[in-house]
Amino acid sequence: MTARTVTVRTVTARVVRAVGGQNLSLLLALGLLVVVVGSQRPAFFLPINLVNIGVAVSLLGLVALAQTVTVISGGLDISVGAVVGVASVAAAIGAAAGTVAGVALGVAAGAAAGLINGALIRFGRVNAVITTLATFSAFQGVTFILAGGEAIGVRTPGFLALGAGRVLGVPVPLAVLVVAVVVFHVVLRYTDLGRNVYAIGGNTSAAWLAGVRVNRYTTGIYLVAGVVAGIAGVLLTARSGAGVADSGAPNLSLQSIAAVLLGGCALAGGRGTVAGTVLGVLLLGVLQNGLVLLDVPRFYQFVAQGTLLVVAVMIQEYRGGRRSRPAAAGGWP
């Protein structure tokens, strides 16, 4: 074995450790998908299409970031898509009084919904999945009540600029996502808040014995998820120019769960990264864009997303089972 071979292997091993095995697999899958779609539709590589992909995944990206923190802490927020819908309609109502009012009301609606989830889980002692499944339905009902069964149009120029404007040449929704990614990454990786979130998801009892205020963190995590969903709702209304009860926002719940699981978050909690979630979001975004360019019927997109979710869960179960497999000779059958 030559010194050059050893050096290449060493560098490769360091790169794999730095990127992470899960993220490396996602990068390879994303690259393969890009090659397949691009070879069939060269228009995929046009700058305008790449920007469109970024804008299209901006809302999912925001919701997935909130879902990442929730899943790492050992919870799950099934209602997050419905919260986006409530915030969207609330923002449209507030926008009639101005841009600031629209943004404030949309974010406040999201925060209130998140606080309700956190309070029910903390004080009602109800399982997070059951709680958010129930509030998913309730928030959808609230959305239809607020909208009165009709679309609420928005004509405020400043508010609409949040969906169509640019910051330093970057579309506002995409710029907001980039800022959110940086903030979530820094908080989760480099602060005590982030370390405590991982600790709660890894072992709640041990975290409590170590002095972590688990109940407060639980409320705060769902409150943050609501605020982020509120921001996504504001951007949704600004992009579409209207607050519509049946906007399709609830679909973001399934998509966000698929993205975080693809990104390596464990349903049991205690594991996951922002980088992995971003790659999961991009994989879903490129897949959806590719299916559109290939003229695949829309309902096949839901089949593809559902399939990816099942695959992600199977991978998580396999990895979890492999780690917990006893070291004794023979192991489990």
Q: What is the DSSP letter of 42?
A: G
Give the pLDDT score at 67: 94
Q: What average pLDDT does the chain have?
A: 84
Q: Is residue 328 part of a domain?
A: no
With residue 264 as reference, give the H or E element that holds it: none
Number of H helices and E strands in the chain, helices first, is 15, 4
- Strands annotated E in 132-225: 152-153, 166-167, 170-171
Query: What domain range is 63 assigned to?
Result: 58-250+265-271
Which of 189, 156, 161 is closest to 175 using CA atoms? 161
Three-state secondary-structure class, residue 154: coil
| Over residues 217-236, mean pLDDT | 94
**CA 4, CA 22: separation in Å to the nearest integer?**
27
Q: Is residue 109 part of a domain?
A: yes
Calculate the CA 155 to chain-centre distance: 29
Give the pLDDT score at 9: 56
Q: Is residue 63 part of a domain?
A: yes
Structure-block tokens of residue 271 = 């594991």
Give the pLDDT score at 12: 46
Q: Is residue 297 part of a domain?
A: no
| Over residues 260-282, mean pLDDT | 89
**CA 3, CA 10: separation in Å to the nearest integer?**
10
Q: Is residue 291 part of a domain?
A: no
| Over residues 187-204, mean pLDDT | 92
Residue 281 backbone class (left: φ over 0; alpha: ψ -120 to 50; beta: rest) = alpha
Give the pLDDT score at 333: 30
Q: Is residue 8 part of a domain?
A: no
**Which has the higher per-residue pLDDT, 259 or 19?**
259
Give the pLDDT score at 329: 34
Q: Is residue 11 part of a domain?
A: no
**CA 197, CA 96: separation in Å to the nearest integer?**
39
Structural domains counted in the chain: 1
Which of 244, 237, 283 is closest to 102 using CA atoms? 237
